[in-house]
Structures are given as C-alpha cells and as structure tokens.
Structure 1
Amino acid sequence: MKIPFNKPYMTGKEAHYMYDAVHTGKISGNGKYTKKCQKYLKELFGFGKCLLTTSCTDALEMAAILIDIKPGDEVIMPSYTFVSTSNAFILRGAKIIFADSRKDHPGMDEDSLEDLITERTKAIVPVHYAGVACHMDKIMDLADRYNLFVIEDAAQAIDSYYTGRNGIKKALGSIGHLAAFSFHETKNIISGEGGMLAINDLHFAERAEIIWEKGTNRSAFFRGEVDKYGWVDIGSSFLPSDIIAAFLYAQVENIENIQCKRKELWNNYNNSFCGILDKVNKVQLPFVPEYASNNAHMYYLICSNAREREKLIDHLKTDGILAVFHYLSLHKSKFYEDKYEGEKLEVSESYSDYLVRLPLFYELTEMEQDKIIKSVLEFYNTYSIEEDNTHSLRRKVYK
C-alpha cells in the first residue's frame, strides 16, 4: 500500500457543474460559476470584493499592479515562501527585502519588520504559512504608521482566522488592503490550478476589474454602465474559464465538510505525536498562536538536523509513504543570492533544511494514517541524535 503526499479530492458534483457550464453557452471568463464562487466566498468570509484568477500567482501580480509598484520600490516579505510571492513584485521592478521566520513557526518574524522599513518601502506581504495567521495587528499598525500597503499571501489560508486585540475574529485575507488565495490541487479547496484576489480596500475595486479584464472596461460594458468598452489601463488575461470556476464551485459549497475531515486528520497526527516526538526526540511540532486558528492545510515536523530529515524521508519512502520537504529560502536561491544584501536569515534557513511535510488529504484513510504515524514513531524509536552530532548541520536549539 503506497501512500501519496497528496490526492485531489472530488466532491462528486464537479463534472455536473462543468457540464452545466458548457451548456450555458458561455465557458469563457466571468460567467455563471465565476459569479457564484465570488459571491459565495465574499459573503462567507467577509471580503470586500472577490475576483477569481487563473492562479494565486496571477492574484499577486494583480496586487502589485494595483498598488503601482515601480522600479526601486521595496517590498518586505518572508524568505521562507514560494517563489510566486516574490516574482509578482520583481516583475514590476521592486527590490525584495526578506524577513526572517519566527523561531516557533515558519511564518515571518513580525517583530523584525520595523527595522527593515526604509523611505522606499511600499508594501508588506505577510504569508500565512500552513494557514496559520501572522500577527496582523502588529503588521497593520506598522502599515498605518509608515503609510504602507499590506497584501496578504493567503495561498494556504482559506477558512482560517485571526482574532485581533479587540477580540474580533476575522478571516485571513479580509484584513490587509488586498489578499491572494490559491486553489491549486494541493490546497484545501481546489480547481486544479486557480486563485482569487480579495479586494478589501474598495478604492481598488474598479481598477482591479479592469486589470483583470486585460486592461479594458469590458465588465462595466456588460453591466450596461458604458455604451462601449476599450483599452483603458494596463492589465492581462487574469480571469479563469468558467469551466474552472464550475469545478471550484463544487468544492466551495462543500468547504465545511472538507474542513471537518482535514481537521480530524490534523488532530490525529498531533495527538499521536504530542508528548512523544517533541519531548523525547526533540522534534518541533506545529505551533498555532492563541490569536490564530488552524485550517489543517498541512501537518509538518521540524527535525533536529538535515541528516535526520533525510533519513526520516527515506525511512517513510521505504514504507511506501511519500513525505516531502518544503520551501528553499528565497534569499539563498540561485536567482537572488547575488542580489541579497541583508543579514543571514538563520531561522528561515533552518526550516528549509529541517522541515518535513506528512501526507494530509481528504481521502487519507484511518488505516493509512495509522501506518504513517506508526512509521514515524518506529523511526524515532531507533534513531539517535547523537549519531548525527558529528555533522555540522546540527540545528540550533532556540529558547
């Protein structure tokens, strides 16, 4: 029995809605199912305005255009993130200022951000890693103080929440000026490839729709607001086919069921490892701050050194289980290492070297998860950190 890292889940209605979309006679962008998804998500999570995109990457690129990023502008973001977070702003000429990660969680270290702000800083891009909220009060306070934009990279954060100092709980992606979501097949709700831009500062709403429609006021024309449409701004073809939106709608309307199962799986992992791996084997388990919720996007372990991670992944592979590592810190990438001028980002680099993700998907059975848990525990019953102490990759223990 081989267990994959991920398996896309189908609710059973995807093909029906796609068939219906085809028979409406309109399968290009901004059709029946695009509108249904946007309305559903806007109302469910309290976003200002929603626009589906072909990817989270496209949503981030739209955000960079909307805040008018120009060459020389600086954008602060974590180094421990996917390349799309950075590329969207690099394409507009921005200089990326990378922040280190937190010691208790792979998300950006919010307390380090103020020292990174200069007169050229234009925006902060918090990435809600594993669907766990960054400390948004701290980030929004900085944005207000220095007149900066906040663009939430909520690629992994659908149906996750932040409780602010005022006690009000808000959905991630509804707090910053703009936010980008992913519906890639590895996410909680999916459309194969797909994304969404949430527009919470509504003064961006009209222009966002124009950029979304290739720089034209085509949407306003079809609503009867103008008598003809033409090229009025820069833009691109960011909107997805309505067939993709139809697939997504089957997922969106089942989000409660999907999330319930994913959280059950996540909790089973955590309950099985807590008090054993973290206490006996010094493995760092996922941390969820009191102000954040857990949307069960992923379950990860942080090993004590790189060799330990390599051995764990190999051990699981021998048992027919595919576990994977995650991001390589962007400041150390082949593309950016010659451009990076900041300090060593030690914590981010440690996550690049020591973090491993375990399979977590809707159709993971109880028997399969038990096998994964048993395999991990068997590995640590025989593995000795002392064997690897001679290696230079030993992780610093953070207090």
Structure 2
Amino acid sequence: MNMIPFNKPYLTGKETHYIYDAVNSGKISGNGKYTQKCQAFFESHYGFKKALLTTSCTDALEMSAMLANIEPGDEVIVPSFTFVSTAIAFVRQGAKIVFADSCADNPNIDADKIEALITDKTKAIVPVHYAGVACDMDKIMELAAKYNLLVIEDAAQAIDSFYIGKDGVKRALGSIGHMAAFSFHETKNIVSGEGGMLTINDERFIHRAEIIWEKGTNRAEFFRGEVNKYGWVDTGSSFLPSEVIAAFLWAQIENIDIIQEKRKLLWNAYYDGLKAQSNVVLPQLPEYATNNGHMFYIVAKNIEHRTKIINVLKEHGYHAVFHYISLHSSDYYQSKHDGRSLDYSDKFTDCLLRLPLFFELEMDQVKAISKLITE
C-alpha cells in the first residue's frame, strides 16, 4: 500500500528551466535578476514597502530582531504555540521571551491577553498567523501604538492571506506590522526548497535592512550606483539566497493563482466533508480573516483520541501529523518561563492534528480521509 504523504511539494515544470537560465547568466550568487523579479512581485502584488528574499524564514526573523535593536534585558511577547524560530531569533539577541496563550477557538495569539504581559522592558510583539489565518491585527497594532512597541508578523504560513480591518480595508498579512517574515520551505503554499522573505513596512528600517542583508555592508547601494565604494558599516550576516533559489521561487510565483485555487478547493472539501460530525472541532475563521488554504487541521478531544485518529488513517494509507509542542514547556525554556499555565496552547499541543493537503491530492482522497474521521 502506497502511503499518501502529509505533504508533497508541487513543481510547475518551469523551475529547472529558470535555474538553467540563472546558472548560465553568470550571476548566481544572489540579488540578481530572479531575486529582483520575486521581490518586485511581492511589493507590487501585496503592498509590502520593501521585500528582501532570505535563505529561510528563520533568517528573516533574525534580521527583524537585529533591526528592532533587541538587546539583553528586552522582553518580546511571543505565542507559545509556534515553531522554535519565532522565539529563538530574539533569544539570540539576548531577549527574554514572554509567552502568550492561544485563543480558545484557534491557535493564534489571544490579543485580549497581550496587554497584561506588557512591561517597561517590552520591545516587540510577534503575532504568528497560524495556518495562514490572521491574528486580530487591529487590537495588536493599537497596543503597539499605545506602548510604543514594534510588531513583527510571523507570516511563515500566511502568503496570499489577508486581514480585513475595522475600517473595512483588506490588507495582505505581512503588510500590517512594522516587519514580517515569510517561509518558502517545501511545506508551504509556494516553495523554493528552503527560503524565506523579510518584508519591511516602516520606512525607518528599509535602509538598514539592506545593509544587514548584505553582511553589514552597503553593497546594495554600491551596485545601484548610489555610493562609489562599499564597506563594513553595521552588523549583519549572509542572509540573501542564491539566484538558484530565487529562480525556483519565480516559477512558483508565476503559478500562485493556480496553486492557491486548488489548495482552497481541497480545504473546502475537507470542511464540507467533516462539518456534520461531532467527533472533532474544525478550524475557525474569524470574520476579519481570509483563508489561504495552507493547512487543514482538526482538534481531537484529547491526546488519546488524536493518537487513535492518526493510527486509523495510517492503517488506511494516509499520513496525518500533529504540530508544535508548547514552547513554554520545552526543555530549553521551561526553567526561564514565569510559571503561568497556558491552557489553550497546551490543548492544541495535545489535540491538534494536520491532515494531508498538497496540490496533487485528489478530491476522492479528501473524501476518504473525511469518512474515516467521521466514522
């Protein structure tokens, strides 16, 4: 029996063509034709003031921590139910992580519980748009303005997803906070194997972001002819990806509408197939959030129930997987956590299960998985 995987990267067919073109152009080290095409698309299509491709979403988060001038003693508010990169980018700068709980009905940070966590040492809030579903960005941005904090969106899973504000305006996730980080890892909607992107929406950070991106040099200005030499002017690292990665990504970008349409069809098929049952809880979309079809998850009654579902699906050839372990209870950070219980984060740790969702998944397979869960 062939196992239907949890994820399978989709190839459009143009990836190797563009990689061949990039390799034969003689410019493969980064910030060439394909890097610039990708960045220009994201800026024009989603309204990011500045987009910089990176070798990973983790790198983009690390850049944001440098740009935010996070220093030892600073506090950064992060949801506990997230990937380790969300926290470690700020830990590396010396920050204390203050973990926030999830909402009762979805894994995103509970915006109503953030203000109680703010102290005079708080420097930034890092909302994670879990499964591509928007956090309550109006509340978060209002708190940031009230306490003079930075907001760095972890939009790793949120490409082509939007937030509808109280003003009725629809804004791309990653365009609302001061900065944002995206992932193009092979598990995401559009991919480049590894890869990510930092978006900057506050003019204050754009110039320095390019310097940090180019190993602390003003090399980007030099190649644009804005300075007659370049040198070491700031901190930074080797964050920009090669043209090979950007060329791969460009083939995906060209097909983003087709990819998104199919992923959302699959998501809706899961929802329609499972909405009548009472065994598990389905994803909740707040009225201010759109759905980008990144992930379809269910919430089981408890960890034993989840394990049973995993085993039944596996017996029938379907690979379903759970997700994050609450970071506040991790081996690395539990002794540094302030001891607050984060009940909803722990609930999603024990009960959330992700179902197979990828471009080549077939509707009949979605129906079969839904039927097994219902039964």
Task: Please indicate the TM-score interval, normalised by the length of the shorter structure.
Answer: over 0.9
Aligned to 1:96: 97
260, 275, 283: which one aligns with 1:286: 283
Matched, 1:301 2:302: no
Deviations 1:338-381 (A, max 9, x none): 11114100110010000000000000012322222222223xxx
Matched, 1:116 2:117: yes
Tell me the SS of whatever aligns to 1:144: helix
TM-score, length of structure 2 as denominator length: 0.99
What amino acid is the match of 1:129? Y
Cα offset, 1:35, TM superposition: 0.2
What is the rounded CA distance, in whole Å, between the counterparts of 1:367 and 1:2 in structure 2?
15
Matched, 1:331 2:332: no
Per mean C-alpha deviation after superposition, the further-off stretch among 137-146 and 338-347 is 338-347
Tell me the SS of whatever aligns to 2:62: helix
Cα offset, 1:284, TM superposition: 1.1
Q: 4+ residue runs of structure 1 moved beyond 4 angstroms?
A: none
Deviations 1:186-214 (A, max 9, x none): 00000000000000001101100000000
Deviations 1:95-137 (A, max 9, x none): 0000000001000110000000000000000000000000000
Aligned to 1:363: 360
Q: How does 1:71-90 map to 2 (within 5 A)?
A: 71-90=72-91
Per mean C-alpha deviation after superposition, the further-off stretch among 359-368 and 209-218 is 359-368
What amino acid is the match of 1:254? N
Aligned to 1:153: 154
What amino acid is the match of 1:4? P
What is the rounded CA distance, in whole Å, between the counterparts of 2:354 and 2:25 in structure 1?
41
- Which structure 2 segments of 5+ residues have no match? none
Tell me the SS of whatever aligns to 1:175: coil
Tell me the SS of whatever aligns to 1:59: helix
TM-score, length of structure 1 as denominator length: 0.93
Please say if residues 269 and 363 of structure 2, whose CA atoms lie closer than 8 Å, have aligned partners that are also in contact. Answer: no
Aligned to 2:351: 354
Aligned to 1:393: none
Matched, 1:201 2:202: yes
Aligned to 2:167: 166
Number of matched residues? 374
Give the share of equivalent positions with the same residue, in percent.
65
Aligned to 1:397: none
What is the rounded CA distance, in whole Å, between the counterparts of 1:86 and 1:142 in structure 2?
20
Deviations 1:311-347 (A, max 9, x none): 1101111111100000000000000011111410011
Tell me the SS of whatever aligns to 1:75: strand
Please say if residues 273 and 371 of structure 2, whose CA atoms lie closer than 8 Å, have aligned partners that are also in contact. Answer: no
What is the rounded CA distance, in whole Å, between the counterparts of 2:163 and 2:275 in structure 1?
24
Tell me the SS of whatever aligns to 1:77: strand
- Which structure 1 segments of 5+ residues have no match? 379-399
Aligned to 1:372: 369
Please say if residues 80 and 326 of structure 2, whose CA atoms lie closer than 8 Å, have aligned partners that are also in contact. Answer: yes
Matched, 1:137 2:138: yes
Give the aligned CA root-mean-square deviation in angstroms. 0.7
Matched, 1:182 2:183: yes
Cα offset, 1:226, TM superposition: 0.8
Deviations 1:216-256 (A, max 9, x none): 00111111111111100000000000000000000011111
What is the rounded CA distance, in whole Å, between the counterparts of 1:2 and 1:218 in structure 2?
48
What is the rounded CA distance, in whole Å, between the counterparts of 1:332 and 1:358 in structure 2?
25
What is the rounded CA distance, in whole Å, between the counterparts of 1:122 and 1:15 in structure 2?
43
